Amino acid sequence: MTDQARLDRRTERERLARKEAESLLEIKSRELYEVNQALAEKEANTRSILEAISDGILTYTPDGIIQTSNRAARELFQTEGESLEGCSISKLFPDAGFIGVSVEPHTNITQVVTGRRSDTDSFPCEVKLSSMALGGVWVPIITVRDITQQKLAQEQIRRLAYYDSLSGLPNRTLFQDRSVMAMNSASRHQELAALMFLDLDRFKRINDTLGHGTGDLLLRQISERLKSIVRCYDSVAAVDNEEYGPVLARLGGDEFTLLFQRIRNSNDVARKGQRILEGLRRPIVIKGRQMVITASIGIALFPEDGEDFEMLLRNADTAMYQAKKTGRDQAMFYSTSMNKEALRVLGLEQDLHQALAQGEFEVHYQPKISIKTRRLVGAEALIRWRHPQRGLISPGEFLPVAEDTGQIGPISDWVLIQVCQQIRQWLDKGLKPVQISVNISNQQFNSGRLLDTVRQVLAETGLESRYLELELTESIVMENAQQAVETLNQFREIGISLSIDDFGTGYSSMSYLKRLSVDKLKIDRSFIRDIASGSEEEAIIRAIIALAQSLRLRVIAEGVETEEQMRHLQQEGCDEVQGFLFSPAIEGDAFESLLK
């Protein structure tokens, strides 16, 4: 074989091999193409299935960036056109902390959360977060469904079940639920609650003469009015949260019920009842016709008048009948003693409004005596109310009422001014006045303007601060512990003496007392009353005096009525006394004679 022939053969072999390789390659690439085609088709299929699913589907990377979304998801979040891919998933579900972080294998969480479309637009949705294994890693996948309609339907059902359709007010079922909750909470915290049963007076007659249509209109208007009266209470108690707000319900017909929580006492409720009656009495115009509607109210208190809802409601109902029977247009308590008390307090409260303006208050002075010298060293100013019909009323009776109605502030300020003017007069007459102490109420102390008031009164009367002493009860000081230290310091700076009243009844700690700038402790009357030798009271008094001495404070005992008590106090080292043994509180003129 020639060389040429050998070469040709090789070339031919190579050509064949190449051709074979080429056709093999062609087959392979065709196969590959077909596989790709198939894959693309499959993906397109998957994609259209994904797109066709009515629930929103989203997947995201471990750092919370959306990777896949379907049409339903885009529609839900209204980003049609724009893509969700690349956005942060947690932006869509701001209150769902479990979304947007990497998932555990086999995660499966379903929750109702808020879906967020924009800053102002969100919707309730049910979200299911699961994880699927993809190429060895667990990828989070979210299914999301808008449940706005479902919620609306639920709300609708709730409205039908719990609200009265005529007035839109809670119905008996909801009222009972809320009452039971309130009673449980009141028992736990040892608080009072009150249930009012309100029935319109002579409604049946209106209904019969004017027709049911007008009757319904009237009931709607009355409901609105009651709602607005009750809402006023809400704003009064604005510090309280919704949970403790009043509940107003319509039981049916012309019967309404009200629930009040966290009430302080029966007077509190009597006053609320009074306001409701007053509010209802304002004329109502229906179809151009003016009417005056009144109601009768029965009140039952929890827990005194009933320990369960049924009993409370029944007793409030009974009280309401009593209110109707005895004249209508009034509120009555279930228990008769409450009625008497409420009437008395309501009377006092009404008169108290004018008392200040009509000059019915007086200041009396009770002398303070030095134990060592038995001489007059000071006096406590005590307010008296000279009622035009009832005569002299003690502060123990009217001050709590004034406190409830917020009148204690102006009244206490008046005493302060009165005392300073009195001392000024004594000075002007050339007398040598003693230091006079004035009682400070809780509200005055908390008002934040006591210091200013005192400064102003002193300036106006041109009085030196050493003539004035303020008595603060131990409880006032303890309740406002942090603020008290600061406020007392400020009084000290302007030279006002301070004494802690009713000492021993609160829980002042030694370390706290040390930080307070006070001058004097006044031992509470209850300890003096039972001071007999060897008694517990004697031991307490001894301890208080020792405490005062270690803090360099003076000690005064109040309510000293006998020489026996006086002797004990002298033995223990008490500095001053005050009490009937020497003198009760006397009028300004009488005290002036003592000064002379």
Least distance to Ca ion from the beta carbon of 578, Å?
A: 9
Smallest separation, CB 403 to Ca ion (Å): 15
In this complex, which beta carbon is closest to ligand C2E, that of residue 412 or of residue 497?
412
Q: What phi and psi values does residue 381 have, to the nearest 5 degrees?
A: -85, 125
Nearer to ligand C2E, 261 or 487 (CB): 487
d(CA 503, CA 508): 9
Chosen from Ca ion, ligand C2E, none, partner binding at 588 (C-beta under 5 to 8 Å by type): none
Per CB under 6 A, residues contacting ligand C2E are 366, 381-383, 394-396, 399, 412, 415, 439-441, 501-502, 558-561, 578-580, 585
| C-beta of 332 vs 440, nearer to ligand C2E | 440
Query: In this structure, are residues 116 and 92 in contact, taking their beta carbons and an 8 Å threshold?
Result: yes
Whether the CB-CB separation of 170 and 251 falls below 8 Å is answered with no
* CB nearer Ca ion, residue 179 or residue 437: 437
Between 124 and 395, whose beta carbon lies closer to ligand C2E?
395
CB within 8 A of 354, min separation 6: which ones?
Answer: 360
Token reading at 173 = 């079922």
Left, alpha or beta for 147 (phi > 0: left; psi -120 to 50: alpha)? alpha
User: Over the range 80-106, which residues count as b (16 or more CB within 10 Å of their CB) and which as e?
Assistant: eeeebeebebbebbeebeebbeebeee
Interaction partner, residue 279 (ligand C2E, Ca ion, none; CB < 5-8 Å by kind): none
For residue 102, the 8-state DSSP code is P
Number of Cβ within 10 Å of residue 551's Cβ equals 13
What six digits make up the tokens of 78? Answer: 């209204």
Which of ligand C2E, Ca ion, none does 559 bind, CB closer than 5 to 8 A by kind?
A: ligand C2E
CA-to-CA distance for 221 and 214, rounded, in angstroms?
11
Residue closer to ligand C2E by CB (options 105, 396) is 396
Provide the minimum distance between the beta carbon of 578 and ligand C2E in the complex, in angstroms, as a whole number: 6
- Residue 97: φ, ψ to 5°: -65, -25
Q: Are 281 and 294 spatial neighbours (Cβ–Cβ below 8 Å)?
A: yes
To the nearest whole angstrom, how small is the minimum distance from the Cβ of residue 331 to ligand C2E?
29
Comparing every residue's Cβ against ligand C2E, the nearest one is: 579
CB 559 to Ca ion: min, Å: 8
The CB-of-356 to ligand C2E minimum distance in angstroms stands at 12
Is residue 336 packed enough to be buried (19+ CB in 10 Å), middle (13-18) or exposed (0-12)?
exposed
Closest C-alpha among 385, 378, 377, 374 to residue 408: 385
Give the residue with the Cβ less far from ligand C2E, 203 or 365.
Answer: 365
**Shortest distance, position 173 Cβ to ligand C2E, whole Å:** 47
Q: Which is nearer to Ca ion, 334 or 385 (CB)?
A: 385
Pairing of strands 576-578, 554-558: parallel
CA distances from 469 to 366, 435, 440, 499, 596 (A): 14, 7, 10, 7, 21
Least Å from the CB of residue 541 to ligand C2E: 16
Residue 443 CB, shortest distance to ligand C2E, in Å, is 9
- Alpha-helical runs (H) found in 68-171: 71-76, 89-92, 148-162
Give least dist CB 100 to ligand C2E, A. 59
Question: Torsions phi, psi of 63, nearest 5?
Answer: -95, 20
Residue 121 or 530 with smaller CB distance to ligand C2E: 530
- List the single partner that 487 binds among Ca ion, ligand C2E, none, CB under 5 to 8 Å by kind: none
Site residues, Ca ion (CB under 5 A): 439, 471, 501-502
Cβ pair 331, 301 in contact under 8 A: no
* Least separation in angstroms between CB 324 and ligand C2E: 40
User: Closer to Ca ion at the Cβ: 471 or 575?
Assistant: 471
The smaller minimum CB distance to ligand C2E, of residues 179 and 412, is found at 412
b or e along 157-183 (b: 16 or more beta carbons within 10 Å of the residue's beta carbon)?
Answer: eeeeebbbeebebbbbebbbebbeebb
